[in-house]
Amino acid sequence: MSTPMYEVDLLSFTHLDTFATVRIFKLDQGLVTEWWVSHNLNGNLHVVGHFMIPTLGFHVEDAEKRCALIAQDLMEFASWAGNGEAGIPGTSDEYRRAHCLKHILKHQEGVGVGVETKAHKTVALYRLAVEFNINNPASLIAQAEGLESARTVHERLSYGRRLGILESPGKGSRRPSG
Protein backbone atom coordinates (compact mmCIF):
# COMPACT_ATOMS: atom_id res chain seq x y z
CA MET A 1 0.00 0.00 0.00
CA SER A 2 1.56 3.29 -1.10
CA THR A 3 -0.56 5.62 1.07
CA PRO A 4 1.20 6.42 4.35
CA MET A 5 -0.63 5.58 7.56
CA TYR A 6 -1.44 8.76 9.46
CA GLU A 7 0.00 8.01 12.85
CA VAL A 8 -0.69 10.80 15.28
CA ASP A 9 -1.05 10.13 18.98
CA LEU A 10 -4.76 10.79 19.52
CA LEU A 11 -6.94 10.13 22.52
CA SER A 12 -10.33 8.66 21.71
CA PHE A 13 -13.63 8.49 23.57
CA THR A 14 -16.94 6.80 22.81
CA HIS A 15 -20.38 7.61 24.20
CA LEU A 16 -23.33 5.70 22.73
CA ASP A 17 -23.11 6.30 18.94
CA THR A 18 -20.79 9.28 19.28
CA PHE A 19 -17.02 9.08 18.89
CA ALA A 20 -14.38 11.72 19.63
CA THR A 21 -10.68 11.97 18.89
CA VAL A 22 -8.46 14.44 20.69
CA ARG A 23 -5.04 15.83 19.87
CA ILE A 24 -3.11 17.57 22.63
CA PHE A 25 -0.50 20.10 21.58
CA LYS A 26 1.54 22.90 23.12
CA LEU A 27 1.30 26.62 22.58
CA ASP A 28 3.30 29.27 24.37
CA GLN A 29 0.47 29.79 26.85
CA GLY A 30 0.05 26.09 27.66
CA LEU A 31 -1.64 22.99 26.28
CA VAL A 32 -4.57 23.02 23.89
CA THR A 33 -6.85 20.15 22.85
CA GLU A 34 -8.32 19.73 19.40
CA TRP A 35 -11.52 17.65 19.42
CA TRP A 36 -13.27 16.06 16.43
CA VAL A 37 -16.63 14.51 17.19
CA SER A 38 -18.65 12.28 14.85
CA HIS A 39 -21.98 10.57 15.24
CA ASN A 40 -23.49 7.44 13.69
CA LEU A 41 -27.27 7.73 13.50
CA ASN A 42 -28.56 4.57 11.81
CA GLY A 43 -25.69 4.49 9.34
CA ASN A 44 -25.70 8.24 8.66
CA LEU A 45 -22.26 9.41 9.70
CA HIS A 46 -21.67 13.08 10.44
CA VAL A 47 -19.02 15.27 11.94
CA VAL A 48 -21.00 17.04 14.64
CA GLY A 49 -18.26 19.14 16.13
CA HIS A 50 -14.72 20.44 15.94
CA PHE A 51 -13.47 22.24 19.02
CA MET A 52 -10.21 23.80 20.19
CA ILE A 53 -10.17 23.90 23.99
CA PRO A 54 -7.34 25.21 26.17
CA THR A 55 -6.59 22.83 29.04
CA LEU A 56 -4.58 25.09 31.34
CA GLY A 57 -1.16 23.91 32.38
CA PHE A 58 1.83 22.35 30.68
CA HIS A 59 1.62 18.66 31.66
CA VAL A 60 0.15 16.24 29.12
CA GLU A 61 -0.96 13.80 31.83
CA ASP A 62 -3.09 16.53 33.44
CA ALA A 63 -4.57 17.45 30.06
CA GLU A 64 -5.48 13.79 29.43
CA LYS A 65 -7.28 13.64 32.79
CA ARG A 66 -9.19 16.84 31.97
CA CYS A 67 -10.17 15.39 28.60
CA ALA A 68 -11.53 12.25 30.26
CA LEU A 69 -13.57 14.43 32.65
CA ILE A 70 -15.25 16.48 29.92
CA ALA A 71 -15.47 13.89 27.11
CA GLN A 72 -19.03 12.66 27.70
CA ASP A 73 -20.42 16.17 28.23
CA LEU A 74 -18.64 17.51 25.16
CA MET A 75 -19.86 14.63 22.97
CA GLU A 76 -23.44 15.05 24.22
CA PHE A 77 -23.23 18.79 23.53
CA ALA A 78 -21.83 18.24 20.04
CA SER A 79 -24.55 15.71 19.21
CA TRP A 80 -27.23 18.04 20.57
CA ALA A 81 -25.85 21.15 18.85
CA GLY A 82 -25.21 19.20 15.63
CA ASN A 83 -22.95 19.84 12.69
CA GLY A 84 -20.16 21.95 14.11
CA GLU A 85 -17.59 23.52 11.88
CA ALA A 86 -15.62 20.93 9.90
CA GLY A 87 -12.39 21.72 8.12
CA ILE A 88 -11.42 24.57 10.38
CA PRO A 89 -8.74 26.72 8.73
CA GLY A 90 -5.44 26.32 10.51
CA THR A 91 -5.91 22.60 11.09
CA SER A 92 -3.47 20.87 8.78
CA ASP A 93 -4.61 18.18 6.36
CA GLU A 94 -2.31 15.70 8.12
CA TYR A 95 -4.14 16.12 11.43
CA ARG A 96 -7.59 16.17 9.85
CA ARG A 97 -6.67 12.92 8.04
CA ALA A 98 -5.46 11.35 11.30
CA HIS A 99 -8.71 12.28 13.05
CA CYS A 100 -10.79 11.18 10.05
CA LEU A 101 -9.05 7.82 9.79
CA LYS A 102 -9.83 7.02 13.43
CA HIS A 103 -13.47 8.02 12.92
CA ILE A 104 -13.76 5.87 9.78
CA LEU A 105 -12.22 2.90 11.59
CA LYS A 106 -14.58 3.39 14.54
CA HIS A 107 -17.76 3.68 12.46
CA GLN A 108 -16.75 1.25 9.72
CA GLU A 109 -18.43 -1.84 11.20
CA GLY A 110 -21.57 -0.13 12.45
CA VAL A 111 -22.34 1.46 9.11
CA GLY A 112 -22.15 -1.89 7.29
CA VAL A 113 -25.07 -3.42 9.19
CA GLY A 114 -28.18 -3.68 7.05
CA VAL A 115 -26.83 -1.86 3.99
CA GLU A 116 -27.68 -3.23 0.58
CA THR A 117 -24.26 -3.09 -1.07
CA LYS A 118 -20.66 -2.26 -0.29
CA ALA A 119 -21.29 0.92 -2.27
CA HIS A 120 -23.81 2.07 0.36
CA LYS A 121 -21.23 1.60 3.12
CA THR A 122 -18.49 3.30 1.09
CA VAL A 123 -20.77 6.26 0.32
CA ALA A 124 -21.49 6.70 4.04
CA LEU A 125 -17.76 6.64 4.86
CA TYR A 126 -17.03 9.00 1.96
CA ARG A 127 -19.62 11.53 3.15
CA LEU A 128 -18.06 11.46 6.61
CA ALA A 129 -14.56 11.98 5.15
CA VAL A 130 -15.81 14.91 3.05
CA GLU A 131 -17.09 16.56 6.24
CA PHE A 132 -13.51 16.47 7.54
CA ASN A 133 -12.57 18.48 4.43
CA ILE A 134 -9.57 16.31 3.61
CA ASN A 135 -7.83 15.83 0.31
CA ASN A 136 -8.37 12.49 -1.43
CA PRO A 137 -10.90 10.85 0.93
CA ALA A 138 -11.04 7.72 -1.26
CA SER A 139 -7.42 6.88 -0.48
CA LEU A 140 -8.12 7.19 3.25
CA ILE A 141 -11.15 4.88 2.97
CA ALA A 142 -9.03 2.40 1.00
CA GLN A 143 -6.40 2.55 3.72
CA ALA A 144 -9.01 1.93 6.45
CA GLU A 145 -10.40 -1.04 4.53
CA GLY A 146 -6.96 -2.49 3.84
CA LEU A 147 -7.28 -2.14 0.07
CA GLU A 148 -4.20 -1.92 -2.14
CA SER A 149 -5.45 1.16 -4.00
CA ALA A 150 -8.27 3.65 -4.03
CA ARG A 151 -9.54 2.28 -7.36
CA THR A 152 -12.02 -0.04 -5.62
CA VAL A 153 -13.34 2.88 -3.57
CA HIS A 154 -13.66 5.00 -6.73
CA GLU A 155 -15.61 2.18 -8.40
CA ARG A 156 -17.96 1.88 -5.40
CA LEU A 157 -18.52 5.64 -5.38
CA SER A 158 -19.25 5.56 -9.12
CA TYR A 159 -21.71 2.73 -8.56
CA GLY A 160 -23.28 4.74 -5.72
CA ARG A 161 -23.77 7.65 -8.13
CA ARG A 162 -25.45 5.32 -10.64
CA LEU A 163 -27.73 4.05 -7.85
CA GLY A 164 -28.57 7.65 -6.96
CA ILE A 165 -27.30 7.42 -3.36
CA LEU A 166 -24.43 9.85 -4.04
CA GLU A 167 -24.82 13.03 -5.98
CA SER A 168 -22.52 13.71 -8.89
CA PRO A 169 -20.55 16.91 -8.39
CA GLY A 170 -21.95 19.71 -10.55
CA LYS A 171 -19.95 21.81 -12.95
CA GLY A 172 -17.71 24.16 -11.00
CA SER A 173 -18.52 22.60 -7.65
CA ARG A 174 -15.80 22.29 -5.05
CA ARG A 175 -15.22 18.70 -4.05
CA PRO A 176 -12.19 17.01 -2.55
CA SER A 177 -10.34 14.88 -5.06
CA GLY A 178 -11.20 11.31 -4.26
Distance CA 83, CA 146 (A): 29
Domain boundaries, the chain: 11-81, 93-163
Q: What is the mean pLDDT of residues 11-34?
A: 91
Length of the chain: 178
11: confidence class by pLDDT, cuts 50, 70, 90: very high
Going from the C-alpha of 9 to that of each of 21, 23, 25, 101, 126, the distances in angstroms are: 10, 7, 10, 12, 23
> What confidence category does residue 82 fall into, taking pLDDT thresholds of 50, 70 and 90?
low
**pLDDT, tens digit (0-9, with 9 covering 90-100), for 120-168:** 899 999 999 998 888 899 999 999 999 999 999 999 999 999 989 888 7
What angle in degrees, to the nearest 10, is found between the helix axes of 118-131 and 93-111? Answer: 150
Q: Could you tell me the maximum CA-CA distance found in the chain, to the nearest angstrom? A: 53
CB atoms within 10 A of CB 19: 23
* pLDDT of 40: 87
CA distances from 175 to 18, 26, 99, 153, 172 (A): 26, 32, 19, 16, 9
pLDDT of 87 higher than 60: no
pLDDT for 86 equals 43
What pTM was estimated for this model as a whole?
A: 0.68
